[in-house]
Amino acid sequence: MSTLTRLSAVAVSIAAAGLLAAPSYAADGTPHVVFVQNDDPSGNAVIAYDRTPSGGLTQVGSYPTGGLGGVLAGSAVDHLASEGSLTYDAGSGLLFAVNAGSDTVTVFAVHGDQLVRTQVIGSGGAFPVSVTADGGRVFVLNARGGGSVQGYRIAAGRLVRIAAWHRGLGLDPTQTPEFTSTPGQIGFTPDGSQLVVTTKNGGNSVLVYRVRPGRLRQPVATSLPGTVPFGFAFDPAGHLALTEAGPNAVVTFTVGGDGSLTALDSAATGQAATCWLVANGGTVYASNAGSASLSGYAVGAGGGLTALGDTATDPGTVDATVSSDGAYLYAQTGATGTVDAFSIATDGSLTDTGSVIVPDAVGGEGIVAL
């Protein structure tokens, strides 16, 4: 091969590599980005990654939250033992991160793939593990001290605590092991009128709160004995899909206007430690920490579940997210602090597109894809 030919080949390779590493952009010109919380007990941070055209991730920034990560007793790959510890609110353009080790919540303004920290505020309880936002309202779930819920209003890009939006969960703070006895997730129903809270083994129940202006009603509790209800998501029809870590299953419910749940279907994953759940339209994916896998299910019009198969991940599969365009799924794997990337086919199947190791993120949880 001539020198000129060799140089041309090298130039083509360099150009191709640059193309693969370049950001992927949404229709509005903003980059597709993935934010990952490392939950580092010595100093929590959110790591920003641009998505490449092939679905891979390229680190573009690291942003200290101004708080500390935390570790629940007995946890290994899932220090917070929760879902939704990092949440993006499209209406306000804000990203919310919990600092479990310092009992605070950090507010970031999102500018493309860059973050600006605007506030660090008390969580209204001990050891915050999950946060949700809708319609200018933000609610935080605290895990210790028997568990609690605290609500806020968004005003001028900052959080204002609402005293009337505080409720204790009344769980036993001495129950062990701690990481399975604390609450798992908080989230709004699709219409924003109700809040859903899972209690895991602390109460083996799902709590539904009616949210009124200036008021948070007492919850309606649905008892699910021995199931350890953990993570959840909603499909476009409004069905609640929920993981049960006890039987390692995915179940579906309707949520009534009065807060009651009506069971629709249940499917055993056949995997171990089925705890987290993410939805992509009418498909849901459950994370199985003990089996290093994701289990996919199609949710039918009546809430029925059809298994789509299991996909292997790195060890310790925990929290996961789907990109805003529905093209990619990103799963945190806590054993090594890795994020695994998968493309999503039209039939719901997943194809591995690579992984990245997140700095100081072994056992970390909290991930958002835009």
Query: CA triplet 280, 284, 76: central angle to 5 degrees?
Result: 110
Cα separation of 226 and 110, whole Å?
40
On the question of pLDDT at 114 being above 60, the answer is: yes
d(CA 309, CA 216): 40
Average pLDDT, the chain: 93
**Percent of the residues in the chain that have a pLDDT greater than 70, as a whole number:** 94
Nearest to 244 by CA among 260, 265, 258, 221: 265
Res 44: pLDDT: 98
- The rounded distance, in Å, linking the Cα atoms of 326 and 279 is 10
Asked if pLDDT for residue 9 goes beyond 80, the answer is no
Is 155 within 8 Å of 145 (Cβ atoms)?
no
Span 78-111, pLDDT tens digits = 999 999 999 999 999 999 999 999 999 999 999 9
Token pair belonging to 106: 């950090």
Confidence (pLDDT) at 21: 60
In angstroms, rounded to a whole number, what is the distance separating the alpha carbons of residues 28 and 307?
A: 35
Residue 158: pLDDT band with limits 50, 70, 90: very high
Residue 66 falls in which region: left (phi positive, over 0), alpha (psi -120 to 50) or beta: left
Q: Which residue in 77, 72, 317, 319 sits closest to 179, CA to CA?
A: 72
The 10s digit of each residue's pLDDT in 168-210 is 999 999 999 999 999 999 999 999 999 999 999 999 999 999 9
pLDDT score, position 30: 79
Each residue of 140-152: pLDDT tens digit? 999 999 999 999 9
Banded pLDDT at 6 (limits 50, 70, 90): very low
Q: Write down the pTM of the prediction.
A: 0.93
Give the count of alpha carbons within 13 A of 107, CB side only. Answer: 24
Q: Which residue from 99, 91, 104 is spatially nearest to 137, judged by alpha carbons? A: 91
Domains and CATH numbers, the chain: 29-369 (2.130.10.10)
Question: Residue 10, exposed/middle/buried by CB under 10 A (0-12, 13-18, 19+)?
Answer: exposed
Which long-range contacts does 258-263 make (Cβ < 8 Å, 24+ apart)? Answer: 258/220, 259/194, 259/208, 259/209, 259/210, 259/219, 259/220, 260/208, 260/220, 260/222, 261/206, 261/208, 261/222
Q: What is the CA radius of gyration of the chain?
A: 20
| pLDDT computed for residue 2 by the predictor | 42
Average pLDDT over residues 125-145: 98
pLDDT of residue 15: 35
**Does residue 353 surpass a pLDDT of 90?**
yes
